[in-house]
Amino acid sequence: MADGGIHAGGIVPDAANARVLRDALGRFATGVTLVTIQGPDGPMGFTANSFSSLSLDPALVLWSPAKASQRYPFFAAATHYAIHILGQHQADLPTRFSRGGPGFDDLDWQPNAEGVPTLPGALARFDCAQHATHDGGDHLIIVGQVLRLTLEEGEPLVFAKGRFGRFDG
């Protein structure tokens, strides 16, 4: 065994050791995003760290909601959505939009040109039209064409090893 109990020869990921796979993936620090849509009963949000740039020309980004989420059907079907890259000052938002959280209750938001709810203060926001979707196992890969973006100054909110934090550089 290597330091920390990780086998030097490698571990084959499967259902029996899914926790080890999650722990390994957690070693990759990511930014934190909040994806918003206008749902059938009002604004909806989805915290995601599965965001990535895909193409500059055309401007495409992607994110991947879990199929097991109760909100999954609404986000999978949304033709327009906004991806907010969260700053450290927005550390309360990820849990606000987790299961059982208050979501948009008592939040200041504005609709964009497509009627999608947007929140002020994000370090960047990408207003997107759904471009394509692809099966990704227990997630759906949603590719969005960026219609517009906004930029703000600030420090990013970071997620690693199951915790939210900051980058000390």
Which amino acid, one-letter code, is at 97?
F
Q: Is residue 2 part of a domain?
A: no
pTM as predicted: 0.86
Predicted pLDDT at 5: 52
Q: Is residue 72 part of a domain?
A: yes
pLDDT digits (tens, 9 = 90+) for 44-102: 999 998 999 999 999 999 999 999 999 999 999 999 999 999 999 999 999 999 888 89
Q: Is residue 168 part of a domain?
A: no
* Torsion sign across C-alpha atoms 96, 98, 29, 59: negative
Q: Is residue 166 part of a domain?
A: no
Distances (CA, A) of 67 to 5, 74, 138: 32, 11, 6
Domain that holds residue 49: 12-161
Give the HSE-up count for residue 17: Cα atoms under 13 Å, Cβ half-sphere: 12
Q: Is residue 141 part of a domain?
A: yes
Domain count, the chain: 1
What is the DSSP annotation of the chain? --GGG--TT-----GGGHHHHHHHHTTS-EE-EEEEEEETTEEEEEEES--EEEETTTTEEEE--BTTSTTHHHHHH-SEEEEEEPBGGGTTHHHHTSTTS-TTTT---EE-TTS-EE-TT-SEEEEEEEEEEEEETTEEEEEEEEEEEEE--SPBPEEETTEEE----
Q: Is residue 21 part of a domain?
A: yes
Write the CATH number for 156: 2.30.110.10
Q: Is residue 6 part of a domain?
A: no
Q: Is residue 87 part of a domain?
A: yes
pLDDT digits (tens, 9 = 90+) for 104-157: 999 999 999 999 999 999 999 999 999 999 999 999 999 999 999 999 999 999
What is the β-pairing status of strands 139-151 and 124-136? antiparallel
